[in-house]
Amino acid sequence: MSAPSSSAPPVPPGTFQTPNGTNSASPKDLRDFLRALRDKELHDDNPSISVQDRQPWLQLIAGLLEQVFGCFPYFKPSIQGTTNERIGLTDVSLEVLSSIGRRVDSLCVDEERLAKQVFVRLLGLCTSTETWLEVTDDGGSGGLPPNTLYSKACDTLVAFLQILSIPTAQGRDPDTVQRGVLHEILQEAMDVCTG
């Protein structure tokens, strides 16, 4: 699986949850695709991605929300040694999401539903990774320590909310564009907290 050239938009691979189809990929294939994408297409030295070219990136975000962020397990001692691949995939997915947020102009303008989904999935990921904070890695797995994902997930969530607070739409009232989505997200979160 190779990352797209700089002139082509990314084509998300089938995921490991695709049932034995010709487009299915293993978690390692998806992780390698995301690493290549991060290193080549989403490198900070590349020019920003215009609003007109953002649709494939939005599809990639939607896929990561469903396939990676939406199903990170809460810690249980019985699964401690079996999640190394999931931890690595989640780590690189957070990096890709952060990079997309920095590089795609007006990422969530007119994408209120996706913005809310990103918030909910990242908040859920923060909650589930918090259960891994006390887990220590004995060094035998050779992978990323699971207790590092919590801070990375929280940092990504904060960066995403900051992106929503930046007025970016040309010729439109910024308060009715991204800030409106940010206000809705925060209001709904407060409503949940206050019952």
pLDDT digits (tens, 9 = 90+) for 79-124: 777 788 888 999 999 999 999 988 887 787 778 899 899 999 999 9
Task: Tell me whether residue 96 is in a domain.
Answer: yes
Q: What's the pLDDT at 91?
A: 94
Asked if the structure places residue 11 within a domain, the reply is no
Q: For residue 119, what pLDDT is reported?
A: 92
From first CA to last CA, the distance across the chain in angstroms is: 47
pLDDT at residue 2 in the model = 45
> What is residue 49's three-state secondary structure?
strand
The predicted model gives 181-185 an average pLDDT of 81
* Owning domain of residue 148: 27-194
Within a domain: 132 = yes
> Is 46 within the bounds of a domain?
yes
**Mean per-residue pLDDT over the chain, rounded:** 79
0.85 exceeded by pTM: no
Residues 160, 101 contacting (CB under 8 angstroms): yes
Report yes or no on 6 lying in a domain.
no
The verdict on residue 16 lying in a domain is no
Region 123-135 average pLDDT: 90
Show Cβ contacts of residue 170 under 8 Å, excluding neighbours closer than 6 positions: none
- pLDDT attached to residue 65: 93
Q: Is residue 60 part of a domain?
A: yes
If one counts the domains in the chain, the total is 1
The band of 167, judged by pLDDT with boundaries at 50, 70 and 90, is low
